[in-house]
């Protein structure tokens, strides 16, 4: 896991790129004036706001991140169809359950991304990360974290846990190298 960028003048490269793209999209144009303005914003806003924020792990493998994004987008489409079918089918056949998934990730940012991915993909909504930080003694790091998820239709608990760990968590670990 790397928290600091290699370039001092570009503390958060990904956020800079995001600012650049969002500015151009908001203005719906790629005219030279907007390109210059977007570049200025992409440089200076992260430099000004960087000291206010807690450092987050940087994306180390951007190629893998894009691949994972496409996979998740594909999963969102299939998830929607599955949930639509489940909703239209008879309700009494559903087997709702709460499942605890042990996490290998340790930093907040990757955990947030994993939880959001789980919420958007087949039949699962993430509910909570255990242990809750407030319940721990001051300054102590939990040894093992769990993600509590609610499943709409649970077939096999272990299989679901394995899918989440293999399909979503392992690539995140590699992208952030943590």
Partner 1 sequence: MYSEWIVSILLLIGGAFILIGSIGLIKMPDFFMRLHGPTKATTLGMAGVLIAAMVFFSSTQDGVSVKELLITIFLLITAPISGYMLIKSAIHHKLKAKDGTKGLDNVEDD
The CB density around residue 9, as the number of other CB atoms within 10 Å, is 8
Q: Using CB under 8 A, which of the segments 39-47, 53-61, 109-117, 164-172 binds partner 1?
A: 109-117
For residues 84 and 170, which CB has a smaller minimum distance to partner 1 in the complex? 84
Give every CB contact of residue 83 below 8 A, 6+ residues apart in sequence.
122, 123, 152
For residues 2 and 67, which CB has a smaller minimum distance to partner 1 in the complex? 67
For residues 4 and 66, which CB has a smaller minimum distance to partner 1 in the complex? 66
Residue 84 binds partner 1, judged by CB under 8 A: yes
Give every CB contact of residue 155 below 8 A, 6+ residues apart in sequence.
95
Q: Report the residue from 10, 130, 163, 167 that binds partner 1 according to the rule CB under 8 A.
A: 130
With left for phi above 0 and alpha for psi between -120 and 50, is residue 61 left, alpha or beta?
A: beta
Cβ contact 1:57 at 8 Å: yes
Q: Report the residue from 2, 96, 155, 166 that binds partner 1 according to the rule CB under 8 A.
A: 96
For residues 162 and 177, which CB has a smaller minimum distance to partner 1 in the complex? 162
């Amino acid at each position: 896991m790397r928290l600091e960028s290699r370039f001092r003048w570009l503390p958060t490269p990904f956020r800079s790129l995001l600012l650049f793209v969002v500015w151009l999209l908001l203005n719906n144009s790629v005219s030279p004036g907007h390109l210059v303005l977007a570049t200025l914003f992409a440089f200076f806003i992260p430099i000004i706001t960087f000291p206010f924020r807690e450092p987050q792990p940087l994306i180390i493998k951007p190629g893998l991140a894009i691949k994972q994004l496409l996979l998740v987008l594909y999963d969102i489409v299939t998830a929607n169809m599955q949930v639509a079918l489940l909703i239209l089918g008879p309700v009494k056949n559903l087997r709702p359950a709460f499942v605890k998934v042990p996490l290998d990730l340790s930093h907040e940012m990757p955990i947030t991304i994993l939880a959001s991915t789980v919420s958007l993909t087949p039949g699962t909504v993430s509910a909570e990360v255990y242990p809750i930080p407030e319940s721990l003694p001051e300054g102590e790091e939990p040894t093992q974290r769990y993600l509590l998820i609610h499943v709409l239709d649970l077939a096999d608990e272990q299989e679901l846990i394995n899918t989440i760990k293999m399909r979503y968590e392992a690539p995140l670990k590699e992208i952030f190298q943590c």
